[in-house]
């Protein structure tokens, strides 16, 4: 997934890996954290909601 989106995978000291998925304006929209746990992995997902043009409405 990181390769498809041109994102870098970052590693933490505890062995966790982080992947940031960015939108077209280089703002982070998704953050994945993959942590080794037992015989598998724990995957956490955090979704960021965009602020800016879409969040504002013009009143006439």
Asked whether residue 38 is domain-assigned, the answer is yes
Examine the pLDDT at 54 and tell me if it is beyond 60: no
* CA dihedral sign, ordered 51, 1, 7, 42: positive
Asked whether residue 2 is domain-assigned, the answer is no
Asked whether residue 4 is domain-assigned, the answer is no
Structural domain count, the chain: 1
Amino acid 52: pLDDT: 53
Examine the pLDDT at 1 and tell me if it is beyond 60: yes
- 3 state DSSP class of 2: coil
Give the model's confidence band at 57: pLDDT under 50 very low, under 70 low, under 90 confident, else very high. Answer: low
Asked whether residue 60 is domain-assigned, the answer is no
Q: Quote the pTM value.
A: 0.59
* Domain extent at residue 49: 9-55
**pLDDT tens, residue by residue, 4-52:** 767 788 899 988 998 888 776 666 777 888 998 889 999 998 887 655 5
Asked whether residue 1 is domain-assigned, the answer is no
Asked whether residue 16 is domain-assigned, the answer is yes
Whole-number Å distance between alpha carbons of 24 and 39: 37
Examine the pLDDT at 53 and tell me if it is beyond 60: no
Asked whether residue 41 is domain-assigned, the answer is yes
Asked whether residue 3 is domain-assigned, the answer is no
């Amino acid at each position: 997934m990181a390769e498809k989106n041109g994102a870098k995978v970052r590693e933490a000291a505890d062995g966790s890996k982080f992947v940031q998925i960015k939108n077209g304006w280089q703002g982070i929209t998704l953050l994945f954290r993959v942590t080794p746990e037992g015989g598998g992995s724990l995957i956490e997902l955090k979704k960021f909601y965009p602020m800016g043009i879409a969040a504002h409405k013009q009143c006439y």
